[in-house]
Amino acid sequence: MFKQNYHSSLLQSAVDELASLPGVGRKSALRFALHLLKQPKENVEKFGRSIINMREAVLYCSNCNMISDTLLCKVCSDLKRDHSLVCVVESIRDVLSIENTLLYNGLYHVLGGIISPMDGIGPSDLSINQLIKRVEEGSVTEVFLALSTTMEGETTAYYLYKLLNRFSIKISTIARGVGFGDELEFTDEVTLGRSIQNRQPFVPLKQ
Amino acid sequence: MFKQNYHSSLLQSAVDELASLPGVGRKSALRFALHLLKQPKENVEKFGRSIINMREAVLYCSNCNMISDTLLCKVCSDLKRDHSLVCVVESIRDVLSIENTLLYNGLYHVLGGIISPMDGIGPSDLSINQLIKRVEEGSVTEVFLALSTTMEGETTAYYLYKLLNRFSIKISTIARGVGFGDELEFTDEVTLGRSIQNRQPFVPLKQ
C-alpha cells in the first residue's frame, strides 16, 4: 500500500493508532488527528486519559459480566427487577440495546461472544459455566436467549438449550418475524415463512 | 436528545470524548470504545499516549508553519527543492495532498485558515504577515496560491494578490477546469465557462 509521509513522526503515530479503530481508514484518522491538533492541550489530555482510564479501571459485574462501576452492576443490584428471568446476550452492546427499549425488567447474562468455529471460539471461551451455575442456584425460572439470527447465534442457542433443558425452567427466545416498517415483498423467505407459521392473534392498535 | 445510560461512568466519558471527533456520532463512539475495551491494556495505553504526545510535543516549521519534527521542516530544509517558489495553502492537510501528487518541488506557506467573516476569521488571524516577510527577504520569485475555489478561498486569494502585487514577483494560482473523469454534461457553468476561456494546446497522451 502507498505509505503517506505525514512530515511528523508524532502525527504519524497518532494517525496509525486512530486508524486501528473499527471502520476508520487512514483518511478519517488523519482528519481526527488534525482536529485534535487544533484543540486546547487540556482537552486532548482529557481525551487520551479518558480512554486509558476506561481500559485500566473498568469493572465487569461478577454476576452477569456487564460493564459496571461496581462489583455488582446496577441491573443485578436492582431489587425492583425480576431476578427469576435471565436474558442471555452476546455482548455489552446487546444489553445497551435491550435496555434502550425500556421493555425488559429481568437480569442479563453476557456471554462475551458466540460459538464460532470459524473464528476459533468454542463454548469454553464463553461464560457458559457461569450461566449454568446461576441456574443451579435455583432462583432462575426462565432463561431468555436473545442471540443473533445468524448461523453462529442459532448454534449457540441450540447448545445452550441442550445444557439448560435438564433444569425445570422455561427457555424462551426473542420473537422472529417481519420487522416494523419492512415490506413483505422484500422480506426473505425464511423470515416470511416463520412469521406465517408463528402467526399471532391480531391486536388492534387502539384498545 | 435521548441520553443513553452506559452502565459505567468510565465507558460514558470515553464515549463522550470519542463522539467529539468530527463526523463521529454516539453510535460509532460506542463502537470505538467497546473495541478499545477488548484490546490489551498496553495497546490502549499506547493509543491514548500517542494522541496526548502528539498534541504536547508537536512542532510547527518556523518558516512555513507546516507540522514538523524539527524547527525547520523537511521541505524547508531540503536544498534540492526550489526555494524561490512558495505555494500558499490553507492547512496542513493541503500540503499533504499536494506532496502526494509528487509533482511539486517548491516550498509551502500554511496560512492556518482562510478569510471568512462568517466564522469571524480575518486576515490578522492568518500567517499573512509572515508570508509578506518571506517575500520581502528577496529570494522568492513566485507565489503560487493554492486555495479552495469557494467564496472564502477566492476572497483570500484576492486579498493576498493585492498585498503581493507590489513586489516584482510572479503570482500564480492552480489551474481551474474540468476534472479528469468528469463529464461535460454534469460540469457547472462557471467551471465549464472558464475552461473554455482558458483552453490549452492539445497534447496527445503518447509523445
Domain that holds residue B100: 78-173
Residues B14 and B99 in one domain: no
Nearest CA in chain A to B113: A38
Under the banding of pLDDT at 50, 70 and 90, the label for residue A115 is very high
- Are residue A49 and residue A81 in the same domain, yes or no? no
pLDDT tier at A1, thresholds 50, 70, 90:
very low
- Number of A–B residue contacts, CB under 8 Å: 176
Q: Is residue B126 part of a domain?
A: yes
Q: Specify the pairing of strand B170-173 against strand B106-110.
A: unpaired
CATH classification of the domain holding B40: 1.10.8.420
Question: Which residues between 6 and 25 in chain B have a beta carbon less than 8 angstroms from any beta carbon of chain A?
Answer: 6-11, 13-14, 16-18, 20-24
Based on the domain organization, do B128 and B166 belong to the same domain?
yes
Rounded to an integer, what distance in angstroms lies between the CA atom of residue A9 and that of residue B107? 20
Contact call for B99 and A69, based on CB within 8 A = no
Number of structural domains found in chain B: 2
Residue A195's SS3 state is helix
pLDDT digits (tens, 9 = 90+) for B93-119: 999 989 988 889 999 999 999 999 888
Residue B37: closest C-alpha in chain A? A55
Average pLDDT of every residue of chain A: 90
Is A178 a domain residue? no
At A202 the pLDDT is 74
Indicate whether B62 belongs to any domain.
no
Residue A62 lies in a domain: no
B57 → chain A, closest CA residue: A10
Using a CB-CB distance cutoff of 8 angstroms, which residues of chain A are in contact with residue B42?
A: none
pLDDT higher than 90, residue B194: no
pLDDT digits over B117-176, tens only?
Answer: 888 999 999 999 999 999 999 899 999 999 988 889 999 999 999 999 999 999 998 887
Same domain? For B154 and B117 the reply is: yes
Task: Tell me: do B29 and B94 sit in the same domain.
Answer: no
Q: A25-58, pLDDT tens digit by residue?
A: 999 999 999 999 999 999 999 999 999 999 999 9
**Contact criterion met (CB < 8 Å) for B50 and A16:** yes
Is residue B104 left, alpha or beta, with left meaning phi > 0 and alpha meaning psi from -120 to 50?
beta
Contact B47 A51 (CB under 8 A): yes
Task: Check residues B33 and B206 and name the one with the higher pLDDT.
Answer: B33
The model's pTM is 0.81
**Is residue B202's pLDDT more than 80?**
no
Domain CATH number, residue B86: 3.40.1360.10
Min Cα separation A134/chain B (Å): 21
CB burial string B37-58: b at 16+ within 10 A, e below: beeeeeebbbbbbbbbebbeee
Q: Give the residue from A36, A57, A78 where a domain finishes.
A: A57
Interacting residues of B137 by C-beta distance below 8 A, sequence separation 6+: none
In a domain, B128, yes or no: yes
CA distance B46 to chain A (A): 8
Q: Are residues A131 and A90 in the same domain?
A: yes
Q: Quick check: helix, strand or coil at residue B88?
A: strand
Least confident of A42-46, A195-199, B40-44, B155-159: A195-199
State whether A46 and A125 are in the same domain: no
Q: How far is CA B59 from CA A5, B68, B126, in A?
A: 16, 5, 18
Domain match, A93 and A146 both: yes
**What is the pLDDT confidence band of residue B1, given thresholds at 50, 70 and 90?**
very low
CB contact under 8 A, A4 and B96: yes
Say whether both B97 and B37 belong to one domain: no
Same domain, A85 and A37: no
Q: Are residues B139 and B110 in the same domain?
A: yes
**B110 found inside a domain:** yes
Does B206 score more than 70 pLDDT? no
Burial of A160 (0-12, 13-18, 19+ CB in 10 A): buried
Confidence of residue A205 (pLDDT cuts 50, 70, 90): low
Residue B4 domain-assigned (yes or no):
no
pLDDT at position A101 over 80: yes
Q: How far is CA B127 from CA B66, B91, B137, B153, in A?
A: 12, 11, 16, 15
* Cα–Cα separations (whole angstroms), residue B70 to B10, B57, B63, B67, B149: 37, 11, 11, 9, 32
Average pLDDT on A87-100 reads 92
Q: Is there a contact between A10 and B73 if contact means CB atoms under 8 Å apart? A: no
* Inter-residue contact A110 to A91 (CB < 8 Å): yes
Closest residue in A to B36 (Cα) is A55
Percentage of the residues of chain B whose pLDDT score is greater than 70: 97
Q: Answer whether residue B130 is part of any domain.
A: yes
Whether A44 and A85 share a structural domain: no
Does A55 sit within 8 Å of B18, measured CB to CB? Answer: no
Q: Is the pLDDT of residue A102 over 90?
A: no
